[in-house]
Amino acid sequence: MASIRPVMSHPAAASLWAAGAAPAAPTPPIEDACQADVLVVGGGYTGLSTALHLAQAGASVCVLEAHEPGWGASGRNGGQVNPTLKHDPDELAALLGARAEPLLDAIAGSADLVFELIARHRIDCAPVRAGWLQASYTPAGVPALHRRAQQWRDRGAAVDVLDRQAMVTRTGSDQFHGGWLDRRAGSIQPLSYARGLAAAALQAGARIHGASPVTDLRRDGRRWVATVAGGARVLSDQVVLATNGYSDGLWPGLARTILSANSFIVATPPLGAAAAHILAGGETLSTAQRLLVYLRKDAQGRLLMGGRGLFANPAGPADFAHVERALAQLYPALAPFQFEYRWGGRIAITRDFLPHVHRPAPGVTIALGYNGRGVATATAMGKHLAAWLTGGPEQDFPFPITTPSPIPLHGLQRFYISAGVAWYGLLDKLSG
């Protein structure tokens, strides 16, 4: 990875991974009017997976991305490929009834899909499939994680229940009292994966245009017309809005249905033998505390630690101090750590912690809200959206279709997130 500035401000953060990611496929700005069966707005995992699967099904598809494919949180996340939701399977069954099982099936197969796409399209993104550890800091939290593991095991998932010693051995930290291992999971280099999806979609016949922000979307007879800054227009029968944590006013009220929160991540220099005992099997790690942190090693041996942060975009090293402290607490013998890189990306949090699919007008489909599980879930979302939009029965679409519902007092989301960080941090300390 080439040497760059050690602190990445939010708008420039994609350049961090661009320094070490696979080369980007050419996605020039759109300049001329065009027509497509489906217009996809947003070049993250949802949009790129949708475009790839649509093109493979024979549809003409055009992707418009305001920056470049993978510019948002799809290129700026922790690289964990986890086939789970925030809700446990039994909890989801109680919440959704008969609709739960198709959704659980789609989520259970989401990591398989990611790694199948990587293999099929030879995506150079440092894939590792060694499992995901979810660990509890306290003895009191371990039974809930063991129940979670058992519920997934009952549905055929390859999982292991871990006691304190097993967790210490796998993580290299004595801070955990137990948890579970989901062997279906793994990790990737996130921007390389996004760029690989883009390249595969282009090869399948999709058109992808970066630096092409959509400024207006309106119905004109039986078709939709999207106008891009600069004046180019795209006419399409169907529109997929896949803007997730970067949703703005393009569709009225959409941004008020989610909380757009920052995920902050830091990376050490390559640590070599000094960190050989940390996640020695290649696993990824998340904590089960309310304000989770997550950790993995990259292909060069860096430790990547992430966690939720303040609402404001990061402006300097001090904004990442809480994540850096967490890493030092897990591995005090290696502290103080040096950090080569710091970056962040915006995720979309929904009120019910479920992905949201909306059809607010004929021919318009909105998909967003992965709550920190976007690598696997958004990829699966794209595949299922493509099947539905190309004539698949609606009853086969596994994600619940809901009406957009604004979060009350959404204008206070900065307060929601800041207060939530403080409140959950207090609860975690009290329960520890």
User: Is 262 domain-assigned?
Assistant: no
Q: Is the dihedral of CA 193, 76, 207, 255 positive or negative?
A: positive
Q: Which amino acid is at 316?
A: G
| pLDDT attached to residue 282 | 98
Q: Is 308 helix (H, G, I), strand (E, B) or coil?
A: strand
Strand order in the sheet with 284-287: 159-162, 178-182, 132-136, 284-287, 293-297, 303-308, 259-267, 341-349
253-280: average pLDDT: 94
What is the value of pTM for the model shown?
Answer: 0.92
Q: Which residue has the higher pLDDT, 225 or 260?
A: 225
The C-alpha atoms of residue 243 and residue 94 are separated, in whole angstroms, by 30
pLDDT tier at 292 (50, 70, 90 boundaries)?
A: confident
Q: How many CA atoms lie within 13 A of 158 on its CB side?
A: 12
Place of tokens 């967003």: 368
For residue 319, pLDDT beyond 90: no
Q: Is the dihedral of CA 285, 287, 290, 292 positive or negative?
A: negative
∠ CA(211), CA(216), CA(218), 5° rounding?
Answer: 135
User: Is 158 domain-assigned?
Assistant: no
User: Is 223 domain-assigned?
Assistant: yes
CB 377 within 8 A of CB 82: no
pLDDT tier at 19 (50, 70, 90 boundaries)?
A: low
User: Is 372 domain-assigned?
Assistant: yes
CB 376 within 8 A of CB 110: yes
For residue 12, pLDDT beyond 60: no
pLDDT, one tens digit per residue, over 95-111 is 999 999 999 999 999 99
CB 254 within 8 A of CB 239: no
Counted domains in the chain: 1
For residue 420, pLDDT beyond 50: no
| pLDDT attached to residue 356 | 97
CB 349 within 8 A of CB 259: yes
Place of tokens 């989801």: 92
Pairing relationship of beta strands 80-81 and 159-162 according to DSSP bridges = unpaired
Max CA distance (Å), the chain: 67
CB 321 within 8 A of CB 310: no
Closest of 4, 5, 52, 121 to residue 386, by C-alpha: 52
User: Is 340 domain-assigned?
Assistant: no
Closest of 227, 320, 283 to residue 80, by C-alpha: 283
User: Is 365 domain-assigned?
Assistant: yes
User: Is 356 domain-assigned?
Assistant: yes
For residue 28, pLDDT beyond 50: yes
pLDDT tier at 15 (50, 70, 90 boundaries)?
A: very low
Question: Which CATH number goes with the domain that contains 28?
Answer: 3.50.50.60
Domain carrying residue 230 = 10-131+187-251+350-407
Q: DSSP code of 40?
A: E
User: Is 247 domain-assigned?
Assistant: yes
Q: DSSP code of 137?
A: S
The whole-chain average pLDDT of the chain stands at 89
CB 376 within 8 A of CB 108: no
For residue 6, pLDDT beyond 50: no
Q: DSSP code of 31?
A: -
| pLDDT attached to residue 263 | 86
∠ CA(369), CA(351), CA(349), 5° rounding?
Answer: 35
Dihedrals phi, psi of 355, to nearest 5 degrees = -60, 145
CB 151 within 8 A of CB 88: yes
pLDDT, one tens digit per residue, over 184-227 is 999 999 999 999 999 999 999 999 999 999 999 999 999 999 99
The C-alpha atoms of residue 247 and residue 426 are separated, in whole angstroms, by 31
CB 77 within 8 A of CB 373: no
Closest of 86, 90, 95 to residue 152, by C-alpha: 90
Instruction: Return the exposure string of 205-230: e unless at least 16 CB atoms fall within 10 Å of the residue's CB, then b.
Output: ebbbbbbbbbeebeeeeeebbbebee
Residues in the chain: 432
Minimum mean pLDDT among 111-120, 190-199, 235-244, 401-410: which range? 401-410
